[in-house]
Structure 1
Amino acid sequence: MARFGLARSTPVQSGPEINGRSRAVPRTRAGRPHVALATSALLLLLLVFILQNGQRMDVRLFGAQGQLPVGVALLLAVVFGVLLVTVHATMRRIIQLRLFNHGRRTPSTTITRPDRAATDPRATDPRADVPEERNP
């Protein structure tokens, strides 16, 4: 009976955090029908919007002009807007990563060009930068 009264040697923690780390929520297939239903409802609403806004209007874009239904013109405006924001965010991230990597470079990480290696013996000898008294 004394065996059941002993405390555990490691503390047991319940909840979303174990040992200071957040526990990942396992993915299941139960949410897939909900996502499919929401996507199909959104597409149905988009189709209704386009069909109800069928009045034609003049559209001009960078010298090209034509007539489109209002719903299609607004849909194209949304697509071009998303594309513009995506390109901007991608370029901003690329610039951010380049600046980050540029700051992490050290002078010791130099690249030797092949034409220098043929004329400079220090480019091929790893001990050439060490003073003579320290060379074995």
Structure 2
Amino acid sequence: MSVLRRTRSSHTGTSPTVPDPAVAGAPKPETIDPAKPSSTMTPASPVPRTRMGGAWVGICAAVLTLVVLIIFMLQNTRRVEVSFLWMNGSVPLALALLIAGVGVGVVAMVVGTARVTQLRKLVRDRRQRQ
């Protein structure tokens, strides 16, 4: 390496291994185009999904749902007459709809639990036969 090159690279802050474009016959430095994939550039790998990430999304969804539910209940405070089997009463409209929604959720959970139990039993039986 020449003294001139060492002196120049020490003043410009570039490392001596990088070719100086001012030196005659030196190759031009390559520009990196982010839109064009290069063989030397590796794409960033996506971050893997975890259970904690899923729990965080579930908590955020639950909080947003509760906020919407609170707004709904505050806007529907008018009392309505409700009759179910032998029971009669007057309750706020939002409470009646909330009770009906919770009832549907309970029925869905019971049916889902029965199906998951059925599938687990099927898998356990297939493993025992093998």
Structure index of larger Rg: 2
TM-score, length-normalised on structure 1? 0.47
What is the TM-score with the length of structure 2 in the denominator?
0.49
